[in-house]
Amino acid sequence: MSEESRDVFKLSRDWLSVQEVVDAVSSSSCGAVSVFIGTTREDQMEGRKVIGLEYEAYECMAQSEFTRLCDDIRARWPIVKHICVHHRLGWVKVGEASVVMAISSPHRGDGQQAIQYGISQLKATLPIWKKEVYESQDADWKENAECSWSTYRERNKT
């Protein structure tokens, strides 16, 4: 009997466990687990040093968009078995993980392609927003240029 596909989505104000995400997609029928870990990087924006990010989400819509994303991934890579995403909310300091995504598949090529596509689509479709907080304690909400409703895309058409 074949194991059912499993999708896990979690928004959390707590530190993210990469192992928990990997365990959620583990399967004896899969020889590959592809993982993406997005971390908060120390950055200079207009001469201001980033010390962390503050995340907010429209949680029920994020869950439904995640379900739609999983369906889309499986339509493109039917061999994908399990998909898991954990995303932080609230304060995430430099060096900490803000998102962990894992996909299991029988072979690595499909999983690697699916994870690259999946994280790009997650950023483009899930209603999760971030505010950059600077060493000076100033802060700016950042528009995700990959997001489908982004005005950045309109302003920067070539």
Does the residue 84 lie in any domain? Answer: yes
Q: Which long-range contacts (CB under 8 A, 24 or more apart) does 5-8 make?
A: 5/74, 5/80, 5/81, 5/82, 5/83, 6/81, 6/82, 6/83, 6/84, 7/66, 7/67, 7/70, 7/82, 7/83, 7/84, 8/82, 8/83, 8/84, 8/85
Does the residue 1 lie in any domain? Answer: no
For the annotated binding site for substrate, the residues are 107-108, 123, 130-132
Q: Look at residue 44 in the predicted model and tell me its pLDDT.
A: 79
Does the residue 149 lie in any domain? Answer: yes
For the annotated binding site, the residues are 107-108, 123, 130-132
CATH of the domain at 90: 3.90.1170.40
Name the band, by pLDDT with cuts 50, 70 and 90, for residue 140.
confident
Q: What are 91-112's pLDDT values in tens digits?
A: 999 999 999 999 999 999 999 9
Does the residue 52 lie in any domain? Answer: yes
Does the residue 94 lie in any domain? Answer: yes
Per-residue pLDDT at 8 exceeds 50: yes
What lies within 8 Å, CB to CB, of 119 at 6+ separation is 36, 38, 99, 101
Does the residue 117 lie in any domain? Answer: yes
Per-residue pLDDT at 154 exceeds 60: no
Percent of the chain surpassing pLDDT 90: 78
Which structural domain, as residue segments, surrounds residue 39? 6-155
Please count the structural domains in the chain.
1
Does the residue 145 lie in any domain? Answer: yes
Per-residue pLDDT at 152 exceeds 70: no
Q: What is the mean pLDDT of the chain?
A: 90
Does the residue 130 lie in any domain? Answer: yes
pTM of the model: 0.88
Q: What is the mean pLDDT of residues 16-43?
A: 96
Q: What are 42-83's pLDDT values in tens digits?
A: 887 778 899 999 999 999 999 999 999 999 999 999 999 999
Per-residue pLDDT at 149 exceeds 90: no
